[in-house]
Chain A
Amino acid sequence: MSTLPSTRVYEGTRIPSPVPTILEVDPEKHRLEDILRVNFGPNHPSTHGVLRLVVDLDGETVAGIRAVIGYLHTGFEKNMEHKSWWKSVTYAPRMDYVAFHANELLYVLAIEKLLGIEVPPRAVWARMAMAELNRIHSHLVWLGTSALELGAISLFWYCFDDRDAILDLFEMAGGTRMHTRYVQVGGIAEDLPPGFVAEARKFCAQMPKSVDEYEAILDRNAIWLERTKGVGLLSADDALALAQSGPMLRSTGVDWDLRRNTPYLAYDEVEFDVPVYGGGDVYDRYRVHMDEMRESVRIIDQCLDKLETTEGMPWIADDRKVVLPPRHELHTSMESLIHHFKIVTEGFTVPEGEVYVAIESPRGEAGCYLVSDGGARPWRVKFRAPSFAALQATATIVQGLLVADLIAAGGSLDPVMGDADR
């Protein structure tokens, strides 16, 4: 791992002690009778969902902070224990509802690791193309809302315009725009429709130009630069200690990306760069997001090449104990009908064991710990939510900021509350 030389963001550590996630008011720096405690959220528009920040203000300066989460807790993990493996896949994308495809992929990869099932190459390339489209989608939502919060309203509409193009592609492939449920254990739910590759190519040609435009809007905007540079500082050591991942970690100078360092799918067969910046501030997080969108387009382009060469090849594993038989066989084959019936009613069984699988979701390391008792339903499902981990850094990055900077710093964590609260 190479850390950039410019990673001296600050000396020592800024993680509060003894509780790393609570910044207490320092009585030596602030007069306690001047402190005003303000509730930021849970229903503040710029909190990216239902995040509550309990902020102690000294004038306009943030003197203390505590993040409170759980307002969107819906017990996904408990529910999944009560559904068959097959049906519980539906829950995964609804946790991180912006990076839905990543979560779905993660859960299915974990099941497949327990099953030891081999996925055909066409499905791998389709999954990768979708995962990268989803990364751009997620980054666009992040960019649009973050800029919106700092007053750049028009950018929000531009971002959502491009986001719509991605959702159109999802709709074309799987029939739904969000929560696609396109990843199936053993492959993908359906083959990519004719014309998908052509449409995706159009998007790939357009997207880098759009990123250039966004940069032109923001990087020449004094207000944007003023409000993001040097704001929300986090050092590499603190980022690792607080288990920060994804763009958060890469903005502190740590050259780490699970797609490259611990490859899954076929990421070791495509060419892409991992953007790393060393400033550890909101601006560098923005830079990482922008560069990642360009890199994702590069990956998608390579996936589309492979999808063209694998045209007509199988897109789901041929394992009748796990995978639904082709629809047309149900009318002619008794065995297929039985397999279909068994998988739909009872569900397939998964060998006993425990696994932890991690992928690089748009927000960083998304992990899934699965325990199977050998039955048709998961014994335990635990998601490692990157938003949950990112929010732990709140008390470290807001030190000494003004209230207005709180918005920029909080937004740069890129939390999705459905992901954090599950």
Chain B
Amino acid sequence: MSDYAGVPGVVETRESFGEVTLVVDPARLIEACTVLRDDHGFNFLADIAPADYLGWGEGPVAGYIGTAGGRDLNDPGSRGLARVPDPKPKRFSISYHLLRVSDDPARVRIQIWLEDGEPVASVLPVWPAADWFEREAFDMFGFRFEGHDNLVRILMPEDWEGHPLRKDYPLGGEPVRFSDED
């Protein structure tokens, strides 16, 4: 883990399940990525994986499915957790999964934390592969990647409202055409 001591902007380094995560200050993301690519040989951006932690760890800790109010499989608070998970620093995380394609393969995860509406720099200048990954992250979560010249929806229709993978976006919540409510 000390291998990554020289990476700028790292606020926390942790290792779990055999994977190294570098939590990076969002303002210094590009710096950190450039150093990892040039000095550590991470030439392959495998994926950009955002997550929304709205409602993380909330609700009663129950030993069985359901809450005191009843049994509701779709209520995030009724998961029957054994313990309340540790709180997260901010609502959203974006994880950049890097891979070193060489004789000495390695993987590292860069993670940044953001509140809703906080801008984040695009890593497209570092790895061109970030293009569609960032478009998908914008489409599904609504992040504004600054410096991305074509930040438009990729999977959802262009005129879609909302960002489906946010936790406050309901499952089955899309408007149905020609239904009685029209």
Binding site for B on A (CB under 8 A): 1-2, 15, 18-22, 69-70, 73, 75, 77-79, 82, 113-114, 240-243, 249, 254, 256, 261-262, 345-346, 349, 352-356, 358, 365, 367, 369, 371, 373-377, 379-380, 382, 384, 388-389, 391-392, 421-422
Q: Are A354 and B74 in contact (CB under 8 A)?
A: no
Min CB distance B34 to A, Å, is: 14
Whether B101 lies near A382 (C-beta < 8 A) is: no
Interface residues of B in 27-67 (CB under 8 A from A): 43-47, 49-53, 56-57, 64-65
Seed contacts A243-B46, A254-B101, A375-B80; 19 additional CB < 8 Å A-B pairs = A15-B128, A19-B131, A20-B131, A70-B155, A73-B156, A78-B164, A78-B165, A114-B17, A345-B65, A346-B64, A346-B80, A349-B82, A353-B16, A355-B19, A356-B107, A358-B46, A369-B47, A384-B49, A384-B97
- A352/B85 contact (C-beta < 8 A), A21-B132, A241-B128 known: yes
Q: Which of A70, A262, A345 has the most CB of B within 10 A?
A: A70
B51 A243 Cβ-Cβ under 8 A: no
Q: Which of A70, A352, A379 contacts B51 (CB 8 A)?
A: A379
* Chain A residue at minimal CB-CB distance from B16: A353
| Contact call A240/B101, Cβ cutoff below 8 A | yes
Residue of B nearest to A358 (CB): B46
- What are the 10 A-B residue pairs with the smallest beta carbon separation, nearest first? A375-B79, A243-B129, A384-B47, A20-B128, A369-B49, A382-B49, A70-B155, A73-B155, A380-B51, A19-B150
Q: Give the Cβ gap from B56 to chain A, nearest Cβ, in Å.
A: 6
Contact A371-B105, Cβ < 8 Å, known A22-B150, A113-B17: no
Residue of B nearest to A371 (CB): B51
> 0/1 per residue, B82-121, Cβ < 8 Å to A?
1101100000000101010111010101000000000000
Bound: A367/B98 CA distance, A = 12
Q: Provide the residues of chain A in CB contact with B70, threshold 8 Å.
A: none
A15 to B124, CA, bound (A): 12
Over the window 10-35 of chain B, the binary record of Cβ atoms lying under 8 Å from chain A Cβ atoms (1 yes, 0 no) is 00000011010100000000000000
Nearest Cβ on chain A to B35's Cβ, whole angstroms: 17
DSSP majority for the B interface? loop
Inter-chain contacts of B17 with A (CB < 8 A): 113-114, 353-355
B131 / chain A contacts, CB cutoff of 8 Å: 19-21, 392
Chain A CB within 8 A of B176 CB: no
Contact A241 B149 (CB under 8 A): no
How many chain B residues sit at the interface, stated as a range, is 35 or more
Residues on the A chain within 8 Å of B21, using CB: 354
Chain A residues near B138: list those with CB within 8 A: none
B7 at the binding interface (Cβ < 8 Å)? no
- CA gap between A356 and B49 in the complex, in Å: 10
Chain A nearest CB, measured from B140 CB (Å):
8
Contact partners of B155 in chain A: CB under 8 A: 69-70, 73, 421-422
Q: Write the chain B residue with the least CB distance to A395.
A: B131
Q: Are B81 and A374 in contact (CB under 8 A)?
A: yes
Quote the shortest CB–CB distance from A354 to chain B (angstroms).
7
Residues in B whose Cβ lies below 8 Å from that of A262: 105, 107
Taking a contact as CB atoms under 8 Å apart, the answer to whether B45 and A243 are in contact is yes
Inter-subunit contact B97/A389 (CB<8 Å) = no
Q: A residues within 8 A CB of B69?
A: none
**Chain B residues, CB < 8 A from A346:** 64-65, 80
Whether A392 pairs with B79 at a CB distance below 8 angstroms is: no
Q: B171 in the interface, Cβ–Cβ < 8 Å? A: yes
Please tell me if the beta carbons of A242 and B129 are within 8 angstroms of each other in the complex: yes
Specify the chain A residue showing the minimal Cβ separation from B169: A78
27 contacts between A and B (CB under 8 A): A2-B103, A15-B128, A19-B149, A20-B128, A20-B131, A21-B131, A70-B155, A70-B157, A73-B156, A114-B17, A240-B43, A240-B44, A240-B101, A241-B128, A242-B128, A243-B127, A262-B105, A346-B80, A349-B81, A356-B97, A367-B97, A374-B81, A376-B80, A382-B49, A382-B51, A388-B136, A389-B129
Which residues of chain A are near B86, meaning CB under 8 Å?
Answer: 352
- Whether B102 pairs with A1 at a CB distance below 8 angstroms is yes
Chain A residues lying within 8 Å of B83, measured Cβ to Cβ, are 374
How far is the CB of B165 from the nearest CB of chain A, in Å? Answer: 6
Q: Are B127 and A373 in contact (CB under 8 A)?
A: no
Give per-residue flags for B158-174: 1 if the beta carbon is below 8 A from chain A beta carbons, else 0: 00000011000101000
- Distance from B137 Cβ to chain A, minimum over Cβ atoms (Å): 10
Contact of B47 among A2, A349, A367 (CB under 8 A): A367
A67 to B, closest residue via Cβ: B132
In the complex, the chain B residue whose C-beta lies closest to that of A352 is B85
Whether B19 lies near A356 (C-beta < 8 A) is: yes
Q: Which of A20, A249, A358 has the most CB of B within 10 A?
A: A20
